[in-house]
Structure 1
């Protein structure tokens, strides 16, 4: 909380501006007929802002988490107002109706799905103390239910994981969906996530960390995988799994040094700021379970990654500021604040 407090208002302000900014917009939208040529707000009355649908979802999550962690935030009244206007039954039904249309089966799979469930899990935590959040949670529930159904239908058919450091990453999607499954006590979803995680990642050996990062990554596939398996490893302890999975010493160094970002005005190169932040988040989750001899290097790495990219979260080109606050908030939130 100490690290987050001085930044919370800036993150709230950028998120408030983003979720009502309709343009520029990069839709994930299949045009089936000419009638599908409609503006973002008409297609997505909840998640029309913040450049694209999934970023809008996780910037809404940013606002909900800030309300929970920083209840005295000066922007709290404004946050409640905009969430009241977005999370209405009719707006959510329009979002759900869009997903039900033929040809939309893979819309925002899996990244947007996972963030939608992460948002609903955050609302469930806030709802323990906040009547507003109970209304928002109830309004969003049909859309969350639809996404859960999609996960339950998709995961048994997904024979192979996606190990990219971008939106398709399987481990990141499972990690966020797991938060929802545990918050809502959805045992079937949790069981399926655990089965898939162990099938996909349980036998990984000497992870090739030297192959990271990819030039447009905002996730470390290896570190996100480890963060997932920390919660789900089956048949052994996490320490045993890490011992086998851990990269060779020289390769491990690829995860300990922050990456450079040469052009923050480039929408894809700016992903690398997100990579620094998501690495810091994963390392913070993993730190208590790391071997004692590795912990000093990990602690140093967390600080270095945050120092490299936190200054660019709320200030800079819109291609970065429309989404980076969410990843900064993951990295800065108190460990265990998700309550799972």
Structure 2
């Protein structure tokens, strides 16, 4: 029954379910970053992102002080516990305490005995009443309380990232690095791929094997030697240096993808053009290159995403002054600081930095699969 028209095999459904599971697994952290980008640091520390729509319990500290009123044989001080604290008005007090070791030991609405005599009562709406046998000191009584803070979303993180000093220059620098570092490898690799696919010359097989071997070489091994070479030839840490670095690191994959695609083009077209007297350059520019656009677009997506999101190569091959920073370095070294503990800024910066790569990917994604599958079947 599986091979009858109109019936799909069980393997098809397994494949679809697997793809759906993978998509969901990728979307979960993305949604988490998106939600966190609209929350401040305290909210992120208080509750996970999936609890963002619900009130989160946070602990605050303050001192209750003021002018007490004498009633009978006691002094009574009333007011709001929110005054002098970071808690927003409207948060519901859940519990409170008067010692740092047990800041939430008393349920809201109950009373606690003070060390110097008297009692303190904190209600759920934040109002308090303190009764003491003597007038309270001007310093006030230290009080800790836990409050259920309602959710609050803000665009402050985006304003801080987008309007930070130097972000516009970093955005321009990122384009300055990414566009040439994408175009140059494609131009060089296209010529090399055509030669390896359709031109006969000694050592072609060894060159192809060498290119495949270079795919597994980690770029970290070449950073220091390549930087020394740049210093020796006089380009040092500059935009030209990082263009050449990205070109060298991207060429093996570019040549491999393009060669696999070009070798699968119809042989009759190439041979017919040669019979008609076309040169290799004419065949390449008028026949092979237009037909290889899916593979070119496929590599362009990979190279653009890699260079746009790169931090390591940018820190090695660009000058250290802030005028030459790309967005990844601006975010890592300036906005996040040395510890990088501000998760709200980190999540916001992630979405700001991926806006352009996402646009490029959706514009060219239809060519991605065609380019990756080039040469896989005959």
Task: Tell me which structure has the larger Cα radius of gyration.
Answer: 2
Higher helix share: 1
TM-score category, normalised to shorter length: under 0.3
Higher strand share: 2
